Structure 1
Amino acid sequence: MTGALSIRPMQSSDWPEIEEIYRAGIATGNATFEAEPPSWEHFNSGKLDVGRLVAVDDAGTVLGWVAASAVSSREVYRGVVEHSVYIAPAAANRGIGRQLVEAFIAATERAGIWTIQSSIFPENTASLALHDRAGFRRIGTRERIALMTYGPWTGQWRDTVLIERRSAGSPF
């Protein structure tokens, strides 16, 4: 990894590196309930175009990504998304997550998104701290919401912390 960092739109050609970063997050047991990364086709079809970003170094290596899904197909929820952000383990603690989340927030606000939400495992303290600094608020904890089927937490019920951020222009 080299020094300069840029944020740009995600491309299908980024998928091998995105998948590797996603797989590393899955291996921790504290990033997602998913046991395996999806195929590119499944990932691509489930994510919105707005805010689908990668952080790359000056050599073009993907160091992290952020993307969002609609929370509902109902028109009344058109401005509400659920997002995910992942950073390559070797790129942790370099401010990449902050830059990705800031760029994501700016992109979603330009697109008229008024609420960004996510569920984070309480053990993922780095993600919780990142989102706290980015202006997300903790709505509550969903206790024992799902039973882990893989990794270091196999067979254990897990909690998630619900977070949200309202757009600066939101009337709420």
Structure 2
Amino acid sequence: MSAVAIRGMEAEDWPAVERIWAEGIATGNATFEAEPPSWEYFDATRRPDLRLVATGDDGVLGWVAASPVSSRPVYAGVVENSLYVSGTARGQGIGRALLEAFISRCHANGVWTIQSTVFPENTASLALHEALGFTRVGTRRRIGLMPHGPHAGLWRDTILLEHRHDRPDAPPPR
């Protein structure tokens, strides 16, 4: 594989981001969503400063983005991440490079907690998140009904993970 660059996501990246998202949906183990949203919805619900893409000779290879978990000011430093890698680029370190850059970007932009929700069957995503310091908070039992894919009509569990970063302005632990 050629050199991979990580950079901020731009609107022009959307067709590739949407395609990669649809590939993830097709696996049945990436999301409860039945299809990617429109660019307008994505743009309105993801923090612009926390959207990254990995690019190589073949264009966009993967992406990561963050959604605020709440509009309440006390949760301003808490986000949920989404991470997707193209089927042709999986297993080549793209996800790791994206998530490392994303964690760094989060810390630089005032985020102290990154949450991720992963299906238990998505062992690669669980292993990647845990390798980069995410811890399992718990299992949400039968949290959602799958509308599509190999698990259509089944209730699914999800694993909630989080990555904590001590805020620089927070008092030291007692």
> Structure 1 residues 168 and 76 mapped into 2: Cα distance closer, same or farther (>3 Å)?
closer
Q: Which moved more, 1:6-15 or 1:160-169?
A: 160-169
RMSD: 1.2
Where does residue 164 of structure 2 map in the other structure?
A: 166
Where does residue 111 of structure 2 map in the other structure?
A: 113
Aligned counterparts, 1:4-19, within 5 A? 4-19=3-18
Instruction: Quote the offset at 1:149 in angstroms.
Output: 1.1
Q: How many equivalent pairs are there?
A: 170
1:71-121 Cα distance to aligned partner (Å, 9 max, x none): 000000000000000000000001111110010011110011000001100
Instruction: Quote the offset at 1:50 in angstroms.
Output: 2.1
Distance 2:99 2:166 in 1: 15
Taking structure 1 as the reference length, the TM-score comes to: 0.95
> Structure 1 residues 168 and 93 mapped into 2: Cα distance closer, same or farther (>3 Å)?
farther
Where does residue 50 of structure 1 map in the other structure?
A: 49
Distance 1:168 1:126 in 2: 27
2:33 aligned counterpart, secondary structure: coil
1:137 to 2:174 alignment: no
Aligned counterparts, 1:1-172, within 5 A? 2-57=1-56, 59=57, 61-169=59-167
Distance 2:75 2:157 in 1: 25
Extract structure 1 runs of 4+ deviating beyond 4 A.
168-172
Say if 2:61 and 2:89, in contact at 8 Å, map to a contact too. yes
Amino acid at match of 1:89: G
Percent identity, aligned pairs only? 58
Structure 2 residues not aligned, in runs of 5+:
none
